[in-house]
Structure 1
Amino acid sequence: MGKLTKLAGAAGLVAGAAYLTKEENRRKVKKQIDEAIRVFNPDYKKELGKPADIDDAEMVSEGAMTSVQYYNQYQEDKSQQ
């Protein structure tokens, strides 16, 4: 089983290298990586009003307004700067 895993990994590495030889494919991959980094950035989530804290997210789904009020205050402070 170990040899098969190594062989599959090597084949994937070769296929990935072959795919990235084209400039267009490299740009596509870089764009997707940049987008993934931006989505998982906590500041990005705050700006969209999606609390990174699970407890806050659950409170909003239950109807609590604490997170909504926090977000509104954050937006007001941000617009005054």
Structure 2
Amino acid sequence: MGKVTKAVGVAGAVAGAMYLSKSENREKVKRQLAKINGKEDSSYLKNLGKPSDIEDANMVNEGAMTSVQYYNRLQDEKSESK
């Protein structure tokens, strides 16, 4: 049983190293870890929308759905105009 456990551990470590070799995957993992720890990365909030919309992003984070509904309506209007 010890050899199988070691083989699975090594395979997992190699797979994790291969996944994290891409910078975009490392950023995804960092954002997820920040969410788990209850910390929001300011660059992550900036990527949600324009930097002027950070207040809206904070409201959504706190549970307000008004800005989400507003954003969805704007997206629907954009897609209908195309």
- Larger Rg over CA atoms: 1
Query: TM-score, with normalisation over the residues of structure 1?
Result: 0.47
